[in-house]
């Protein structure tokens, strides 16, 4: 019996279910959301349109977008109780832990928590989309002993986040690069955090619990946490003249280089060229080309040595740094975006559910008798 079992470590190559949300096509280096290439969406839509697409399956017309934006803008405020809890978070806690707890609190505040019907889950998704940035920004301000800034209804999703963090909206070049990054991060098939959210939803638990679990999965450096590690690496190198040697030494020591490699894309991540273009633009706009110079040398050396290509976290890390965000905010920003993909998957799983419960191959001791405690 055991000879017939084929264990796919890390579920590599396993098709666990079908999904109509996004299509990852590594062979042609392409990713589509509901059939639209992600680069096309990033260049031609605002993030709000992409969120609507993921929640509803179609891009909105002007009226649908206006209604959706109004709902999102009117849901940005978080309760006084939650603000008070955020103010009491340990100052040194990682913002991924604080946003995870914040979302858990939103679940406790929602009387419809057990209602998993699609209209209610879509409404919860919009509320989470609207409130997660407020939680992240409030926590950032509280942690730095700054006054918390209330959300503004007159600003777009991306503009409002800058306003809540820094008290002002930066030039269009910066907001646009941020908005593009949110579109690129929004959805990516059965990645680890999305799969975690689907496993939780498959037990018919609630949407907030599924998102909390997904945030926990995203935090890991092998998944979303890589965008923070990329910036720590670039800062450690600090000088383009040291970049090649740094990479050669790291590879010799068999270290995993953050921001490189991907379980699905073996020939390059389809999202990288768009993000790289905007990261380069930001470097020029801010008069800080150093991070791009270091990145280019790392990328070329990795290509020459191991033919492993960068993933989205590689250009996104320095882009967020140039926008002025603390490094530990990078993965929470990923949460602000990926909530759209998670919600779409939670709704899809719930609408056509079967408990996700795989098997394992047992490798422990054979059956044996219990020895009495006195004799052990």
Piece of the chain touching ligand COA by CB under 6 A; list 34-42, 197-205, 308-316, 320-328: 308-316
Piece of the chain touching ligand COA by CB under 6 A; list 45-53, 65-73, 250-258, 321-329: 250-258
CB of 264 to ligand COA, least distance (A): 8
Mind giving me the DSSP string for 276-336? Answer: HHHHHHHHHHTT-THHHHHHHHHHHHHHHHH---B-THHHHHHHHHHTT--GGGHHHHHHH
Catalytic annotation present for 88:
no
The nearer residue to ligand COA, 96 or 138, going by C-beta atoms, is 96
**Residue 127 near ligand COA by CB under 6 A:** no
**Residue 299 near ligand COA by CB under 6 A:** no
**Residue 190 near ligand COA by CB under 6 A:** no
Question: Cβ(52)–Cβ(340) under 8 Å?
Answer: no
**Residue 300 near ligand COA by CB under 6 A:** no
End-to-end CA distance of the chain: 33
- Residue tagged active-site, from 110, 206, 269, 313: 313
CB burial of residue 158 (10 Å; 0-12, 13-18, 19+): buried
**Residue 263 near ligand COA by CB under 6 A:** yes
Piece of the chain touching ligand COA by CB under 6 A; list 33-41, 95-103, 258-266, 284-292: 258-266
**Residue 87 near ligand COA by CB under 6 A:** no
DSSP for residue 176: H
Q: Which residues contact 121 (CB under 8 A, 6 or more apart)?
A: 115, 207, 343, 346, 347, 350
* Torsion sign, CA atoms 119, 206, 160, 153: positive
Catalytic annotation present for 262:
yes
CB of 104 to ligand COA, least distance (A): 25
What would the 3-class secondary structure string for 95-163 be?
HHHHHHHHHHHHHHHCCCCCCCCHHHHHHHHHHHHHHHHHHHHHHHHHHCCCCCCCCCCCCCHHHHHHH
Name the helix (H) or strand (E) containing 31.
Answer: strand 30-33
For residue 168 the two structure tokens come to 């002002």
Judged by CB under 6 A, the chain residues 310 through 329 that form the site for ligand COA are 311, 313
Catalytic annotation present for 188:
no
From the list 257, 325, 323, the residue with the least C-alpha distance to 295 is 257
CB of 258 to ligand COA, least distance (A): 5
Piece of the chain touching ligand COA by CB under 6 A; list 24-32, 111-119, 131-139, 255-263: 255-263
Return phi, psi of residue 260, to 5°: -120, 150
The nearer residue to ligand COA, 47 or 185, going by C-beta atoms, is 185
Q: Which of 33, 190, 195, 260 binds ligand COA (CB under 6 A)?
A: 260
Judged by CB under 6 A, the chain residues 148 through 167 that form the site for ligand COA are none
Q: Which of 35, 256, 304, 351 binds ligand COA (CB under 6 A)?
A: 256
* Residues belonging to the active site: 223, 262, 313
Which residues of the chain form contacts with ligand COA (CB under 6 A)?
222, 226, 256-263, 308, 311, 313
């Amino acid at each position: 019996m055991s000879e017939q079992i084929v264990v796919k470590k890390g579920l590599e190559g396993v098709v666990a279910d079908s999904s109509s949300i996004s299509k990852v096509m590594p062979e042609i280096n392409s990713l589509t959301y509901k059939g639209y290439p992600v680069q096309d969406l990033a260049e031609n839509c605002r993030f709000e349109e992409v969120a609507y697409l993921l929640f509803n399956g179609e891009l909105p017309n002007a009226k649908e977008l206006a209604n959706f934006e109004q709902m999102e803008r009117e849901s940005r405020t978080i309760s006084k109780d939650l603000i008070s809890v955020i103010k009491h978070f340990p100052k040194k806690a990682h913002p991924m832990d604080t946003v995870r707890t914040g979302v858990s609190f939103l679940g406790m505040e929602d009387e419809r928590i057990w209602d998993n019907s699609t209209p209610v889950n879509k409404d919860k998704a919009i509320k989470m989309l609207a409130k997660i940035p407020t939680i992240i920004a409030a926590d950032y301000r509280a942690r730095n002993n700054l006054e918390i800034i209330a959300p503004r209804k007159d600003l777009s999703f991306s503009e409002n986040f800058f306003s809540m963090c820094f008290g002002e909206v930066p030039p269009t070049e910066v907001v646009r690069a941020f908005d593009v990054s949110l579109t690129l991060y929004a959805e990516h098939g059965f990645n680890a955090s999305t799969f975690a959210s689907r496993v939780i939803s498959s037990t018919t638990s609630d949407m907030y619990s599924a998102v909390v679990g997904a945030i926990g999965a995203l935090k890991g450096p092998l998944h979303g946490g890589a965008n923070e590690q990329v910036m720590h690496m670039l800062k450690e190198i600090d000088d383009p003249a040291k970049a090649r040697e740094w990479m050669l030494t790291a590879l010799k020591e068999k270290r995993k280089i953050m921001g490189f490699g991907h379980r699905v894309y073996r020939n390059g991540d389809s999202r990288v060229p768009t993000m790289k273009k905007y990261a380069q633009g930001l470097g020029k706009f801010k008069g800080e080309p150093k991070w791009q110079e270091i990145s280019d040398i790392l990328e070329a050396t990795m290509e020459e040595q191991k033919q492993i290509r960068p993933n989205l976290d590689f250009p996104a890390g320095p882009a967020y740094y140039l926008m002025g965000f603390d490094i530990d905010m990078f993965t929470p920003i990923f949460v602000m975006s990926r909530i759209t993909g998670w919600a779409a998957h939670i709704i899809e799983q719930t609408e056509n559910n079967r408990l996700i419960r795989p098997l394992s191959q047992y490798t422990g001791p054979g059956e044996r008798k219990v020895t009495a405690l006195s004799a052990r």
